[in-house]
Amino acid sequence: MSNPYVPLFILLALGFGFAALSVGTSLVVGPKRYNRAKAEAYECGIQPSPRAEGGGRVPIKYFLTAMLFIIFDIESIFLFPFAVAFDQLGLFALVEMVLFIITVFVAYAYVWKRGGLEWD
């Protein structure tokens, strides 16, 4: 086996084949009975609330969380190579890692102080 990523695609094909097959079969086998109420949005039996054009607006806090995620996720990704090559790099890696994490903590403290981590 030459390429280690080939098996991933075999498994991907198996998974997709299974999912598509079972959804497809149920489309063929399942009943289709029209009912106007069935095609409406489910809101526990009350009249569904009207939908805004294009999906409507989303609270800004979700956007904020996504932005913070990108910052801190990239940070943790940077820590991975540090950790893997730690033994080869020597004391340099330790000092560098601590400096990097301190820098990140400054940003983290700033975000906390500005209320970026408050959900309400």
Partner 1 sequence: MSALLTVAHGIPALLAEGKDNPSADFSDTPLWITVIKALFIFVYLLVSTLIVIWFERRVIGRMQQRPGPNRNGPFGLLQSLADGMKSMLKEDVRPKAADALVFTIAPLITATMCFIAFAIMPMGGEVNLFGHRTPLQLTDTPVAVLLVLAIAGVGIYGIVLAGWSSGSTYPLLGGLRASAQMISYEIAMGLSLVAVFLYSGSMSTSQIIGAQKNLWFIVPAFFSFFVYVITMTGETNRLPFDLAEGEGEIVGGYFTEYSGMRFAMFFLGEYINMFTVAALATTMFLGGPLAPPGIAAINDGMFNEGWWGLLWFTIKLWLFMFMFVWLRGSLPRVRYDQFMKFGWKFLIPATLVWVVLVAFFRGAQNGWLGEGGVNFFGRTFPVASLALVGVVAVGALIVGWWWDSRAAAKEAAAADAPQSSIDPFAGGHPVPPLPGQTLAEPTRTAAAIRSEAVTDKEAIRG
Residues that bind partner 1 (CB under 8 A): 1, 4-8, 10-12, 14-16, 18-20, 22-23, 25-27, 29-33, 38-44, 48-49, 51, 55, 58, 61-62, 65-66, 68-69, 72-73, 76-77, 79-80, 82-87, 90-91, 93-94, 97-98, 101, 104-105, 108, 112, 117, 119-120
Outline where 6-90 has alpha helix (H).
6-29, 60-84, 86-89
In whole angstroms, how large is the CA radius of gyration of the chain? Answer: 25
* Cβ at position 114, least distance to partner 1 in Å: 13
CA 84 to chain CA mean position, Å = 24
Helix (H) or strand (E) holding 101: helix 91-113
Nearest to partner 1 of 85, 110 (CB atom): 85
* Cβ at position 19, least distance to partner 1 in Å: 4
* Cβ at position 110, least distance to partner 1 in Å: 13
Residue type, 41: A
Q: List Cβ neighbours of 119 (8 Å cut-off, separation of 6 or more).
A: 61
